[in-house]
Amino acid sequence: MYQEDPAWDDIIPLPQDDGDKPLAQIAYTEEYAEAMSYLRAIMAKEEYSARALAITEHITEMNPAHYTVWLYRAKCIFALSHDLRQEIAYLNNKALRHEKNYQIWHHRQLIMDKLGDPTGEAEFVAKMFEKDSKNYHVWSYRQWLVRRFELWEGGELEYVDKLLAKDIRNNSAWNHRFFVVFGRGGEVDMDVVEREIKYAEDAIYLAPQNQSPWNYLRGLISRAKLPLSKMEALCKHYAPVDNPDRITSSHGLDWLADIGAEKPETKDTAIKALELLAKTYDPIRTNYWNHRKVLLQKAVA
């Protein structure tokens, strides 16, 4: 208890003020309430000290999602010129115990930005992905790393290849691939576009009903300002509307419907695709597909 610790004798704690008649007062533990009272007091004094750092560690152990405490911890670390590598090691343990905690990753970003050296970060992030390869906070952090330290050519595509070889349906990995290939902006290299189209086509071959590579293709086509009809042959291969028994992908049907809006001469194929989606391949959204059919007919007319 801080009130019994001589090191805190000079501090008058500031309890939380919930008003005279709190509507829904949170039942904090005595330990947590006392620690926060002492932290408020030193925050009011803008004290950046070893004991301030220690109390933030204590509180984040009880509540690792307390954003304000993490921000104050960062201020203490920078004011004290605390060993940043030591802080990263501390965060490693925290992150592995609290995988979905945004505050930990935001704090890590602040520390890494100040440190200015990403050595070991890719390896630790990979360790996190071994626990959950679709952790949104970790992927956001990895993209920040790539942008902050110009790691576009630092083996990112090769790493994505490994993740997709393990799970071709990992939409997060597909998203990261698009970020790495096109995240720098600028003119689009058509050789790169063709390479990525081939990559997506190979993934579709492995799992035609997997939506991720189809979405990736749509992004590619849009980024390169190419017509949707460029992929017409691919769509017809997996969604031959005249031979429904051979259809293996509803996403191919969806794409054929969109081509119909782009190329009026393919209207009949597009309408057949929408009818198949409504009746057989995605009946839960029958009203949606029928609505699109009406819109297509009106547009062509």
The most distant pair of C-alpha atoms in the chain lies apart, rounded to whole Å, by: 85
Token pair listed for 110: 């602040």
Measured CA to CA, the distance from residue 161 to residue 157 in angstroms comes to 6
Three-state DSSP class for residue 13: coil
Half-sphere exposure of 98 (CA within 13 A, CB side): 15
Contact 2, 8 (CB under 8 A): yes
Catalytic hit among 45, 75, 100, 298? 100
Contacts of 163 (CB under 8 A, 6+ apart): 129, 133, 170, 173
Q: CB neighbours of 71 closer than 8 A, spacing ≥ 6?
A: 107
Question: Any residues with CB less than 8 A from the CB of 152 and at least 6 apart, and which?
Answer: 146, 180, 183, 184
Residue 225 a catalytic site member: no
Mapping DSSP onto H, E and C, the string for 153-182 reads CCCHHHHHHHHHHHCCCCHHHHHHHHHHHH
CA nearest 207: which of 173, 167, 240, 259? 167
Please report the beta strands in the chain, taking only residues with DSSP state E, as ranges in sequence order: none
Q: Report the catalytic residues.
A: 100
